[in-house]
Amino acid sequence: MVSKTVKNRVTQFKSMGASDALSPQGKDLSMPSTERERQLWAQLANSRAWVEPIEECWESELHEGSVLEQVQSKLKLQQLVLDAVSQGVLIADAQGHILSANAAFLSITGYREAEILGRTCRFLQGPLTDMNTTRAISQAFKDGLEFAGEILNYRKDETLFWNELTISPVRDGQGRLTNFIGVTRDITERKGVDTALQESEALKLAILNSVAAAIAVLDREGTILVVNEAWRRSALQNASQLGQPAPHTEVGANYLSVCQGGGGLSADDDGLKSGDGIRAVLDGSSPGFDLEYPCHSPSEKRWFSMSVTPLESKGLGAVVVHTNITARRQIEARLTESESHLRTIIENEPECIKIMDAQGRLLQMNPAGLAMVEADSLDQVLGRPVLELIAPEFRPAFADLHQRVIAGETVQMEFKMLGLKGGHRWLETHAVPMREQGGTVHLAVTRDITGRKQIEDQVRQLAFYDPLTQLPNRRLLNDRLGQAMIASKRSARYSALLFLDLDNFKALNDVRGHAAGDLLLNEASERLKRCVRAMDTVARFGGDEFVVVLNELDVNKTESTERAKQVAEKIRVALGAPYLLTLKQPGKAPDRVEHHCTASIGVVLFINHEASQEDLLKWADAAMYQAKDAGRNRVQFYDPTAVLA
């Protein structure tokens, strides 16, 4: 038999009526906006056609698999059609619980289908959602009626969107309410445009009703034809008699008389300039005229600008606009003062502040920066490529930083700088792009981190190097030995570990003191370094013990053994030569001491990771003690048989 779930699903769609679900009672929910959408809606509306053949298949007792495939195919087609519609579509039961949603609805709201199934649409509502609208929607669900309107909803990420919503009831053949279909469209962008248009219209209305500038329209003779409210207010404010407008400022007066008499202007020369400028515009000899002038009142200092523009048709007159620019003048004064303060701050800032053009040339640098680059004046570096002041090993990275900043990035970098007088400094720069004169420049704040770098080097030296001999300590030895084992695995070559101990060192320490012992250890360290390659490692293991790692000797074990033996013998001979030590004591003449000291050396070969670092050190140490037991001043390769014996 056919799957019960599928049969129930088909029965449900038949009772709903796919065409009814899309357009209940023959009413359009939301007209599709394109021909493609109209085709998809029509295809979905005819989906009832596939329900009846399925029932016929059941009645004819067709094969269960064939029917199931047809049902699944039709259901998939229905979902594909719904997902292809640009509007969001919801199908809910009679109580408003969501049964399904198309891809557009999920995209608009940001939810997954599993998160909304079985819920009502209240999860889309929030604090700013209009309560009257939500009540109307609830009433429509309660009464089984249609709803159409706009509502402010919330997405899953809590962002707002305007929703054009249509809800329609779906009834079966007996008129019983079975479902609701909701069609939603995101109209946030449209609402934004509508709001912008409304604001624009309101702004225009405000400008016409209460424009701040005083405006008058003159005919070609200079007679005032029209003035606005701001002009009338200005005429009253500048009048000599209380309640009476200033002379020659009303409609019908000749405004050129004001200019000739200097009325309203601060001085006769400004009045004459304005009169000449207005006449030039009126007779067509000038395309416009502008003038800024003071017009101080007893209570405040004021500045105005006059702008005269000819009417569109020549010879008809001009528009005169007076604007109070006192605030702008005050801002300019404050800006000038602020620039002066900023210049003082920059010039006294202890960190370097510099500006470079797109080609990397220096445009500006404060005194702190000049001190960093050892320049006596800005002229010494102005216009020079900053790259010339960067240490060679950092120039490629700094050039890349500059290009990234010009491209719009914010970048930080540490680098070494070369001073004009030969000094070296470590600097840390924080660079940002800055728009200037139509182009992008490189603005950087740079500070001197030389002291910090020196401290870091000291900390690193203390952490990884022996403070007496400056050789790698045990910690760094372990790292180098690990690298040697990795390299041995990669190259399939043997390496060797040499563990050596100075045979006659304690006697010198006991007789001459630790100062003499320290001199001998330093001399022994130098001799050891001269016996090996740059790729090898010489480390002080502790006291009078040293470890040497010989990297990548040969792929042949016998040849590797021979090479390790040669190096070990070279070290033994070098360390066995007499030590001439000069002991210095305050208030006394230098004391020269000759001391003889040999070395016992244990050697172990290794390849890959056949043994651990701990085992290699243990075996080399055992071989070294075999050399001591055999009479000292000799080289002994590790022999596990001898150790066991």
Q: CB neighbours (10 Å) of residue 362?
A: 22
pLDDT given at position 13:
44
Q: What is the mean pLDDT of the chain?
A: 83
The DSSP code sequence of 270-311 is HHHHHHHHHHHHHTTS-S-EEEEEE---SS---EEEEEEEE-
Is the per-residue pLDDT at 52 higher than 50? Answer: no
Q: What is the DSSP string of 533-596?
A: -TTSEEEEEETTEEEEEE----SSHHHHHHHHHHHHHHHHHHHHS-EEEEE--TTS--EEEEE-
Instruction: Assess whether pLDDT exceeds 80 at residue 268.
Output: no
Q: What is the pLDDT of residue 209?
A: 52
Helix (H, G, I), strand (E, B) or coil at 135: helix
Cα separations (Å) of 226 from 24, 222, 278?
61, 12, 16
Residue 565 CA to residue 571 CA, distance in Å, equals 10
Half-sphere exposure of 312 (CA within 13 A, CB side): 0
pLDDT (0 to 100) of residue 427 = 93
In this prediction, residue 206 carries a pLDDT of 58
Residue 208 has pLDDT above 50, yes or no: no
Reported as a single tens digit per residue, the pLDDT across 110-125 is 999 999 999 999 999 9
In the prediction, which pLDDT does 67 show?
A: 53
Q: How far is CA 69 from CA 14, 45, 86, in A?
A: 18, 21, 28
Higher pLDDT, 16 or 119: 119
Q: What is the mean pLDDT of residues 612-618?
A: 93
> Does the structure show a pLDDT above 50 at 267?
no
Q: Is the pLDDT of residue 43 over 50?
A: no
Least confident of 39-53, 65-79, 619-633: 39-53
Q: Tell me how far apart the terminal alpha carbons of the chain are, to the nearest angstrom.
A: 86
The pLDDT, as a whole number, for residue 386 is: 93
What is the token pair recorded at 605?
């070969």
Helix (H, G, I), strand (E, B) or coil at 457: helix
Higher pLDDT, 490 or 243: 490
Q: Reply yes or no on whether the pLDDT at 567 is more than 80.
A: yes
pLDDT band at 40 (very low <50, low <70, confident <90, very high): very low
Mean pLDDT is lowest, of 6-10, 136-140, 200-204, 306-310, for 6-10
pLDDT in tens, 352-409: 999 999 999 999 999 999 999 999 999 999 999 999 999 999 999 999 999 999 999 9
pLDDT value of residue 2:
40
Helix axes 64-84, 35-45, angle to 10 degrees: 150
Whether residue 59 is predicted with pLDDT greater than 80 in this model: the reply is: no
Query: Tens digit of pLDDT for each residue in 232-259?
Result: 888 787 766 666 677 767 888 888 887 7
Q: What percent of the chain has pLDDT over 70?
A: 81
Mean per-residue pLDDT for 202-211? 57
pLDDT of 21: 40
Residue 108 carries which side chain, given as an amino acid letter?
I
Per-residue pLDDT band at 167 (split at 50, 70, 90): very high
Q: Which residues pair with 305 in a beta bridge?
A: 292, 323
Percent pLDDT > 90 in the chain is: 52
Question: Is residue 470 scored above 60 in pLDDT?
Answer: yes
Task: Report the pLDDT value the prediction gives residue 195, as an integer from 0 to 100.
Answer: 82
Distance, CA of 431 to CA of 434 (rounded, Å) = 10
Burial track 161-197 (b if 16+ CB lie within 10 A, e otherwise): bbbbbbbbbbbeeeeeebbbbbbbbbbbeeeeeeeee
Cα distance between residue 359 and residue 338, in whole Å: 30
Give residue 118's pLDDT.
93
Please check the confidence at residue 644 and state whether its pLDDT lies above 50.
no
Beta strands in 272-410 (DSSP E): 289-294, 303-310, 318-324, 352-356, 362-365
Coil, strand or helix at 92: strand
pLDDT of residue 66 exceeding 80: no
Which runs of E-coded beta strand occur in 205-266? Answer: 214-218, 224-227
pLDDT digits (tens, 9 = 90+) for 447-459: 999 888 888 888 8
d(CA 548, CA 564): 11
pLDDT tens per residue, range 134-144: 999 999 999 99
Tokens of residue 309, six digits: 């523009």
Q: What is the pLDDT of residue 295?
A: 79
Q: Does residue 273 register a pLDDT over 90? A: no
Of 7-11, 280-284, 296-300, 639-643, least confident by mean pLDDT is: 7-11
DSSP structure class, residue 392: G
- The pLDDT value recorded for residue 274 is 84
605 membership: H or E segment, kind and range: strand 599-606
pLDDT band at 266 (very low <50, low <70, confident <90, very high): very low
pLDDT of residue 212: 84
pLDDT tens-digit readout, 122-135: 999 999 999 999 99
Count of CB atoms within 10 A of residue 222's CB?
Answer: 21
Out of 47-51, 77-81, 405-409, 635-639, pick the least confident: 47-51
pLDDT digits (tens, 9 = 90+) for 276-332: 888 988 988 888 899 988 877 767 788 888 999 998 765 689 999 988 888 888 888
In this prediction, residue 80 has a pLDDT band, given cuts at 50, 70 and 90, of low
Q: What pLDDT, on the 0 to 100 scale, is given for residue 1?
A: 41
Question: Residue 187 in contact with residue 163, Cβ under 8 Å?
Answer: yes
